[in-house]
């Protein structure tokens, strides 16, 4: 064995390390949970991570009021209940909530439109943190602005708490459609793309070269069934977030496991047919045109 240094130099918080965890979550399901019991059900069902929050989006929508970062005690309880990564939400622009979540040792911070924004102009400077961030996006320009601020993972927003997949579909198709178009653009057209998207030119040029976002892209907002998860995976999402869709259904443990299996076998219709059987009623869901507040409109 070759001579080795006596003590290694370990570098934490690099972009590679922060984006690396998102790579490990690919092909998986991240589930919203509000207490340790739900977290254990999620882990039992095969979740790759849990998102700790005080109320699932459908309850936030119903109850109204200002939605904030969860109580650290509740987050610590969930961290103690599971061995998989624990994510938690901070309000858009609320960098102190993010500092607190980092101090708690959460594995990912979601700067989330599901909570009430704390800043109407600025998102958090995410480069300043060791903990990685995930942010929502409805279109490619929004995704690239978040990446330029240091987001290590993008999730298409969809419309949280509705159990209605239509907005997630719209956002995914918009982001992936523009990426496909940029790969066909010539070098002169990329300047106009950057202007139209209100996004940094180097990121647009990187997409033209690689054909993908510089960070992984998952899908969130309105997923309620195994078929929903498989559809967004076929459209090009790399993992799924499921919020109200699991714990607002009649049989969360069974539905959670079915969505995990559907996310893995998303192209195998026979497996999808098998896991979709007998799950009991899904969450009731909401028609988008009836909503008073569209959460996806938050963020700039």
Q: How long, in residues, is the chain?
A: 300
Question: Which of 100-108, 184-192, 241-249, 284-292 is the region at the interface with another protein (rule: CB under 8 A)?
Answer: 100-108
SS3 string, 137-174, reads ECCHHHHHHHHHCCCCEEEECCCCCCCCCHHHHHHHHH
Among 66, 130, 192, 196, interactor with another protein by CB under 8 A: 130
Residue 276 interacts with another protein (CB under 8 A): yes or no: no
Q: How many angstroms separate the CA atoms of 150 and 126, rounded? A: 5
Among 72, 74, 102, 236, interactor with another protein by CB under 8 A: 102
Residue 13 interacts with another protein (CB under 8 A): yes or no: yes
CA-to-CA dists, residue 5 to 1, 11, 82, 238, angstroms: 12, 16, 35, 39
Residue 11 interacts with another protein (CB under 8 A): yes or no: yes
Residue 257 interacts with another protein (CB under 8 A): yes or no: yes
Q: How many residues bind another protein (CB under 8 A)?
A: 48
Residue 273 interacts with another protein (CB under 8 A): yes or no: no
Instruction: Measure CA 266 to chain center.
Output: 18
Residue 1 interacts with another protein (CB under 8 A): yes or no: yes
Residue 178 interacts with another protein (CB under 8 A): yes or no: no
DSSP type of residue 289 = G
Q: Rule CB under 8 A: which of 131-150 touch another protein?
A: 131-132
Measured from the CB atom, the residue of 69 and 296 that comes closer to another protein is 69
What tokens appear for 70 in the block? Answer: 């969860």
What tokens appear for 104 in the block? Answer: 């708690």
Residue 2 interacts with another protein (CB under 8 A): yes or no: yes
Question: Active-site residue 89, yes or no?
Answer: yes
- Collapsing DSSP states into helix, strand and coil, what is residue 29? strand
Residue 211 interacts with another protein (CB under 8 A): yes or no: no
Residue 277 interacts with another protein (CB under 8 A): yes or no: no
Residue 290 interacts with another protein (CB under 8 A): yes or no: no
Among candidate residues 33, 67, 73, the one with its CA nearest the CA of residue 49: 33
Q: Rule CB under 8 A: which of 50-89 touch another protein?
A: 83-85
Among 39, 41, 47, 199, interactor with another protein by CB under 8 A: 47
Cβ burial, residue 139 (10 Å; 0-12/13-18/19+): middle
Residue 214 interacts with another protein (CB under 8 A): yes or no: no
CA-to-CA dists, residue 39 to 33, 46, 132, 252, 287, angstroms: 6, 11, 21, 11, 29
Q: How many angstroms separate the CA atoms of 54 and 35, rounded? A: 8
Shortest Å, Cβ 144 to another protein: 22
- Collapsing DSSP states into helix, strand and coil, what is residue 112? strand
What tokens appear for 160 in the block? Answer: 């949280």
Among 3, 73, 287, 292, interactor with another protein by CB under 8 A: 3
Among 59, 189, 206, 268, interactor with another protein by CB under 8 A: 268
Interface residue list for another protein (CB under 8 A): 1-5, 7-14, 16-18, 20-21, 23-28, 43, 45-49, 83-85, 102, 105-108, 130-132, 257, 260-261, 263-265, 268
Catalytic residues, by residue number, are: 89
């Amino acid at each position: 064995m070759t001579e080795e240094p006596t003590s290694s130099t370990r570098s934490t918080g690099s972009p590679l390390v922060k984006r690396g965890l998102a790579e490990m979550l690919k092909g998986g399901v991240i589930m919203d949970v509000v207490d340790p019991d739900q977290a254990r059900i999620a882990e039992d069902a095969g979740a790759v991570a849990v998102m700790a929050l005080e109320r699932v989006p459908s309850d936030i929508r119903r109850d109204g009021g200002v939605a904030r970062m969860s109580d650290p005690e509740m987050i610590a309880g969930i961290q103690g209940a599971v061995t998989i990564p624990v994510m938690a939400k901070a309000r858009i622009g609320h960098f102190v909530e993010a500092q607190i979540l980092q101090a708690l040792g959460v594995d990912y911070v979601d700067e989330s439109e599901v909570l009430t924004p704390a800043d109407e102009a600025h998102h958090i400077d995410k480069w300043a943190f060791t903990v990685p961030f995930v942010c929502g996006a409805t279109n490619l320009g929004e995704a690239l602005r978040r990446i330029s601020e240091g987001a290590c993972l993008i999730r298409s927003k969809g419309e949280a708490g509705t159990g209605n997949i239509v907005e997630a579909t719209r956002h995914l198709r918009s982001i992936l459609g523009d990426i496909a178009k940029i790969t066909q653009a010539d070098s002169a057209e990329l300047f106009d793309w950057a202007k139209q998207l209100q996004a940094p030119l180097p990121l647009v040029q990187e997409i033209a070269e690689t054909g993908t976002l510089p960070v992984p892209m998952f899908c969130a907002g309105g997923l309620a069934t195994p078929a929903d998860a498989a559809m967004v995976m076929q459209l090009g999402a790399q993992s799924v977030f499921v919020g109200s869709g699991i714990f607002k259904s009649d049989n969360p443990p069974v539905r959670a496991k079915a969505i995990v299996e559907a996310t893995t076998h998303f192209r195998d219709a026979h497996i999808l047919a098998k896991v979709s059987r007998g799950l009991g009623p899904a969450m009731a869901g909401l028609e988008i045109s009836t909503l008073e507040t569209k959460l996806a409109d938050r963020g700039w």
